[in-house]
Amino acid sequence: MNYLITGATGQIGSGVVKCLLERGERPRVFVRDAEKARARYGDRVDIITGDLADAKSLAAALRGIDALLLINVGHEIEARDEAAARAAKAAGVKHLVKLSSMDAQQNAGTGAWHARGESAIRVSGIAFTFVQPGGFMSNALGWAASIKAEGVVRSPTGDGRIAFIHPDDIVAVTTLALTTQKYEGEMLPISGPEALSYAEMTEKIGAAAGKPVKFEPISEEQERQQMTKEDEPPEIIEAHISIYRAIREGRLARVTDNVNRVVGRKPIRFEQWAQENAAAFC
C-alpha cells in the first residue's frame, strides 16, 4: 500500500506517520515546508511540497497512491476537501480517510465546515472513512497561560460536559482506518471515556500539577472580547463561540465506544493526559 499523509507536520498527521514508520511503511508526506518535514522524519519518508489550497500540487503528489489521509484546517475546509476528493478520485486513489469532527454531526462551530467537506467527499464517489473526534484533550494546553499566571481557567461553557479524547487515541483509530479497509463508507465518531465539565477537568489538571487551579465561568461576550484581543479572525472566534455554546447546552457530551471497537482497548482518561502534560501548567 502507498500512503499519502497530509497534515504530516501537525499533531495527528505526525502521529499517523510515526505509526506507519513503526509498521515498516514508507509513507509519502504532503507538506508546505520540506525542511520542517525533513527535520522531523529525515529520509524515512518521501516528501512532496505543496499546498492544499492548490489542487494541482496535490494531484501531482497523488500519483501511485492507494490511500490518502486528508487533514484540512480552517474555514475553507469544504472547498479544499472537495478539490482533494476530486484529485484523489482522478488519480485512482482507492480510499480517502478524512480527519473530520464529531461536531460535524451537530453542525456546531468548525464541525459545520467539516459537515460540508464530508458531503463534498461523498458526492465525489471516492471510498471514504470519516474519523470524527470530539474535542482534543490537547486543547487544554490553551489554558496553560492563565493557569500559570493566575491559577484559573475561564470559559463560557458553564456546567456543560464534553468527553475530550487523547490525541494518541485519534492517531490509533486513524491509522487503523487507513491501513485496514475495514471502515470504508463509515463515520467513526470517537470520544474519550467520560464527559467532564471544564470545572472537573480544571481540578484534574490542578491535581496533576500539584497546585490549586479554579474554573471561572464567563459569558460568550467576555470570551469574544478576549479572542479579539488575541487577534483571532472573526470566523474562528464565532466557530469557537458556537462550540462553547453547544458544550454549555449539553449537545457535545456524547461518549462513544468506537476507540474500543477499532483499537481493542479503552480510550485514555483525562487524568492520564493531565499527568503526561503537567509540566506545561507549572
Ligand X SMILES: NC(=O)c1ccc[n+]([C@@H]2O[C@H](COP(=O)([O-])OP(=O)(O)OC[C@H]3O[C@@H](n4cnc5c(N)ncnc54)[C@H](OP(=O)(O)O)[C@@H]3O)[C@@H](O)[C@H]2O)c1
CB of 185 to ligand X, least distance (A): 20
CB of 111 to ligand X, least distance (A): 7
Q: Are 141 and 280 in contact (CB under 8 A)?
A: yes
CB of 138 to ligand X, least distance (A): 7
Q: Scanning the structure block, which residue is given the C-alpha cell 458526492?
A: 123
Give the H/E segment covering residue 146.
Answer: helix 144-150
In the bound state with ligand X, the residue whose beta carbon lies nearer, of 100 and 179, is 100
H, E, C per residue of 157-226? CCCCEECCECHHHHHHHHHHHHHCCCCCCCEEEECCCCCEEHHHHHHHHHHHHCCCCEEEECCHHHHHHH
Instruction: Identify the bridge partners of residue 214 per DSSP, sorted by sequence position.
Output: 152
DSSP code for 28: E
Exactly one of 3, 4, 5, 12 binds ligand X (CB under 6 A); that residue is 12
In the bound state with ligand X, the residue whose beta carbon lies nearer, of 9 and 105, is 9
User: Which residue lies nearest ligand X, judged by its C-beta?
Assistant: 10
Q: Which of residues 137-176 bind ligand X (CB under 6 A)?
A: 139
CB of 38 to ligand X, least distance (A): 13
Cα of first residue to Cα of last residue in the chain, in angstroms, is 44
Binding mask 66-105 for ligand X (x = CB under 6 A): -----xxx-------------------------x-x----
Exactly one of 51, 159, 257, 271 binds ligand X (CB under 6 A); that residue is 51
Exactly one of 110, 129, 157, 191 binds ligand X (CB under 6 A); that residue is 110
CA 34 to chain centre: 22
Summarize as ranges the residues that interact with ligand X (CB under 6 A).
Answer: 6-13, 32-33, 36, 51-53, 71-73, 99, 101, 110, 133, 135-136, 139
